[in-house]
Amino acid sequence: MDIQLLEDEKIDDLQYKGLKIIQKNKAFRFGLDAVLLANFVDVKKGSSVIDLGTGTGIISILLAGKTEASSIVGLEIQEDIAEMASRSVKMNCLEDRVKIVCGDIKESVSLFGASSFDVVVTNPPYMNRGGGIINLSDTKAISRHEILCTLEDVIKAASKLLVPGGQFAMVHRPDRLVDIIWLMRNYSIEPKYIRFVHPSPYKKPNLILIKGSRQGRPQLKMMDPLYVYDENGNYSKEINEIYCRGQ
């Protein structure tokens, strides 16, 4: 399928079931965290899923390839990024299952209705805005800093969008773990699983994967750590399996 590329755009191969994605060279580009989250979340056959802050659409597109979800919505506030993500969906012929919507996470319940999704997944901005000078129109800054939405905005919206018993899954930084657990419980999402992601053995984690259940019973399980590289500096066996690489 012929897809028009705009200035500074390129097509990247996701190396999974022939899926591809359009990205801007000078804008925020997806990383390992998005791939890990798409592999971490549990999506049952026929589920309805929403990806809050979808960006390039990477998680929505990967979930369409990895799961049998009946419908996946990617919500993105930046109009140009949402339009680019829509072209990626079309390029992969996923229009029947994936829809990109331009809108604000804080208005998501008004857009879609309460208790309208089985699964909410998100790779939100990691950094507090703080006191530094930030270009509010910079797509990289918007993707990395809590400029247009906060961690609380994301978790609050997720709680309202989920059906009772629905799953919330997120990737974030370990230094926000206390905030994450407190906010999840405050908005009736019970943390169920946590997994720390380490660059390599003996190095401290730099990512966390966490999932919980709306109105779930208290029981938190710590999963085995995930190492990106092994002791020899090669990708670990599990990372190669996630990326479907031959051994």
Tens-place pLDDT, residues 18-28: 899 999 887 66
Query: What is the band of 131 on the pLDDT scale with cuts at 50, 70, 90?
Result: very low
pLDDT of residue 4: 81
- Give the pair of three-digit tokens for residue 74: 């990617």
pLDDT of residue 88: 96
Query: What is the band of 145 on the pLDDT scale with cuts at 50, 70, 90?
Result: very low
For residues 40 and 30, the model is more confident at: 40
- Percentage above 70 pLDDT, the chain: 88
Query: What is the band of 129 on the pLDDT scale with cuts at 50, 70, 90?
Result: low
Mean pLDDT over each residue of the chain, to the nearest integer: 90
Q: Is the pLDDT of residue 126 over 80?
A: no
pLDDT, average across residues 48-73: 97
Q: Which of 85, 75, 84, 86 is nearest to 120 (CA)?
A: 75
Query: What is the band of 244 on the pLDDT scale with cuts at 50, 70, 90?
Result: confident
pLDDT of residue 177: 96
Question: Are 207 and 171 within 8 A, CB to CB?
Answer: yes
pLDDT, average across residues 122-150: 59
Question: Are 180 and 210 within 8 A, CB to CB?
Answer: yes
Query: What is the band of 247 on the pLDDT scale with cuts at 50, 70, 90?
Result: very low
pLDDT of residue 174: 96
Of 130-139, 201-210, 220-229, minimum mean pLDDT range: 130-139
Query: What is the band of 127 on the pLDDT scale with cuts at 50, 70, 90?
Result: low
Nearest 5°: the CA angle 157, 117, 66 is: 115
Question: Are 196 and 208 within 8 A, CB to CB?
Answer: yes
Q: Is the pLDDT of residue 7 over 70?
A: yes
Count of positions (residues) in the chain: 247
Element (H, E) at 119: strand 117-122
- Give every CB contact of residue 121 below 8 A, 6+ residues apart in sequence: 37, 38, 41, 49, 50, 51, 52, 59, 63, 168, 169, 170
Question: Are 39 and 64 within 8 A, CB to CB?
Answer: no
According to DSSP, the β-strands at 162-172 and 117-122 are parallel
DSSP E strands in 175-222: the ranges are: 189-198, 207-214, 221-222
Count of alpha carbons within 13 angstroms of residue 26, beta-carbon side: 4
